[in-house]
DNA sequence: GTCTATAAGTAGATAGAC
DNA sequence: GTCTATCTACTTATAGAC
């Protein structure tokens, strides 16, 4: 039966997080008020504080949860034994995972400024761990000669930045399928880091 | 002679814009108050309104000025007749220009959400014009066969996203010179879009 | 667990003196 | 052109009733 007051701890909590994620992504953390979140959830602002000590914790929880899931999933999906195949695993996983969670991706990058220094350090650590997933692939590939990168760290950041770009233009109703997009990016990533012999060079 | 009150129109205006640019980049548009800007400039909050009708116009003016300068400079510096050389011009210009103006670059991307719809449309138009600079290079190169890109639009956005990434990690006292960084990125860009024959492929 | 009410502070913007 | 003072609205967070 419908109630306008009473206990809803098991549904209100997730709804607060979903709503906050969407509003933070759309308008920015600083521009969204607790009243606005509460209003969309359907409770009064004071009720939010049953679920979090303050607004900062809400933001941090969203970002931390996202980064932990990213790390967990990337470890599970980047498993091929062959280096080139593992790089392809990573490329396709990164694009797909990021396109599935655009709001969480967006705030995890855009709202770093609004974290306390302690919380910022934690999120930065998780982000670096994720970068290490790719960097170790590039380092192993360079060592064995199947890849050719001038600077492993820069190549890592360059590839991730390039892949992140998909989120800025992708639309569900666009002209390309997800698989086509993955393939186009994988082609560019592969060419950028594989030893090559340009046609027509001498 | 030092004065604490009186006319300063010719120096206060630029100082307001410099200060706002720095504060917006550091803390975000929504998190910076007019009083905070005024305080760092050394005037009272009310005085700011001699230079702009509202806070929104201040943000828009900063972003518009940056984008117009980017367009003007890119046209002046991407001039080589040869396609590959022009792509290299663009790559090196983009990295250098963006590293010279990190705050303006940062807010021109991060604060798009805080523009009114009308202002957003104008900035988006300028951004697309800049992307067209690169896209026309890639299109011309593909047509003449000196470049090989599966999808011109995606390649444009992928290259720009990759180059933009430099701003997230560059430090003046880092281990690489600006020219070394440009060269590393140019190497990756070139390999990604030039027709190639991977060594060891069959 | 949610409500109402409120504390204590800050926001953008304006009016009028100088 | 800048100041002081102020308006109106909104902010995060808390207290206590139910």
pLDDT in tens, A79-111: 999 999 999 999 999 999 999 999 999 999 999
Residue B10: band (very low, low, confident or very high) from pLDDT cuts 50, 70, 90: confident
In which residue are the tokens 């410099």 written?
Answer: B18
pLDDT of residue A3: 45
For the beta carbon of residue B69, count every other beta carbon within 10 angstroms.
13
B152-164 helix and B117-144 helix, angle to the nearest 10 degrees: 110
How far is the C-alpha of A127 from the C-alpha of B187, rounded, in Å? 26
pLDDT tens digits for A126-141? 999 999 999 999 999 9
| Distance in Å, residue B168 CA to nucleotide C13 C1' | 36
Asked if A198 lies within 8 A of B194 by C-beta distance, the reply is: yes
Helix, strand and coil percent figures for chain A, each rounded to 5: 75, 0, 25
Those residues whose beta carbons lie under 7 A from strand C are A 4-9, 12, 38, 42-47, 50-51; B 32-36, 45-46, 49, 53-56
Checking each nucleotide's C1' against the CA of B53, the nearest proves to be C13
Strand C, nucleotides < 7 Å from a protein CB: these are 1-5, 10-16
Is A55 within 8 Å of A34 (Cβ atoms)?
yes
Q: What pLDDT was estimated at residue B60? A: 98
Nearest CA in chain B to A32: B30
Residue B53 pLDDT level (bands cut at 50, 70, 90): very high
Does pLDDT of A1 surpass 50? no
- For residue B160, the chain A residue with the least C-alpha distance is A162
Nearest to A109 by CA among B131, B63, B109, B61: B109
What's the rounded Cα separation, in Å, for the pair B98 and B164?
Answer: 8
Q: Which fold does the domain A55-193 belong to in CATH?
A: Tetracycline Repressor; domain 2 (1.10.357)
Taking 80 as the threshold, does the pLDDT of residue A9 lie above it? no
Looking at residue B196, its pLDDT comes to: 80
Write out pLDDT tens, residues B159-183: 999 999 999 999 999 999 999 999 9
Containing A54, the helix (H) or strand (E) segment is none
Residue tagged 């190169």 (tokens): B141
Q: Name A169's Cβ contacts closer than 8 Å, sequence gap at least 6.
A: B157
Task: Indicate the fold that domain A1-52 takes in CATH.
Answer: Arc Repressor Mutant, subunit A (1.10.10)
**pLDDT of B4 higher than 80:** no
pLDDT at B3: 47
Band of pLDDT at residue B9, cut at 50, 70 and 90: low
3-state SS, residue A48 = helix
Chain B: residue whose CA lies nearest to A164: B161
Spans of all domains in chain A: 1-52, 55-193
Which is it for the CA torsion A90, A95, A96, A101, positive or negative? positive
Asked whether the domain spanning B55-193 has the same topology as the one spanning B1-52, the reply is no
In sequence order, which residues have a C-beta less than 8 Å from that of residue B198 and are 6 or more positions away?
A: A191, A194, A195, A196, A197
Q: pLDDT of B57-110, one tens digit each?
A: 999 999 999 999 999 999 999 999 999 999 999 999 999 999 999 999 999 999
């Amino acid at each position: 039966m419908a109630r306008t007051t009473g206990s809803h701890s098991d549904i209100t909590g997730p709804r607060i997080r979903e709503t906050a994620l969407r509003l933070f992504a759309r308008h920015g953390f600083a521009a969204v008020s607790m009243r606005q979140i509460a209003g969309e959830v359907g409770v009064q602002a004071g009720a939010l504080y049953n679920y979090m000590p303050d607004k900062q914790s809400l933001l941090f929880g969203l970002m931390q949860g996202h980064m932990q899931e990213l790390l967990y999933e990337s470890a599970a999906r980047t498993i091929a034994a062959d280096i080139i195949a593992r790089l392809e695993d990573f490329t396709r996983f990164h694009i797909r995972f990021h396109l599935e969670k655009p709001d969480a991706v967006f705030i995890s990058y855009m709202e770093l400024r609004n974290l306390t220094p302690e919380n910022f350090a934690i999120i930065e650590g998780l982000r670096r761990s994720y970068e290490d997933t790719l960097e170790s692939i590039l380092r192993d590939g360079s060592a064995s000669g199947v890849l050719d990168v001038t600077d492993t760290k820069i190549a890592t950041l360059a590839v991730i930045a390039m892949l992140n770009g998909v989120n800025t233009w992708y639309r569900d109703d666009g002209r390309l399928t997800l698989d086509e997009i993955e393939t186009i990016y994988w082609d560019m990533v592969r060419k950028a880091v594989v030893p090559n012999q340009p046609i027509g060079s001498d």
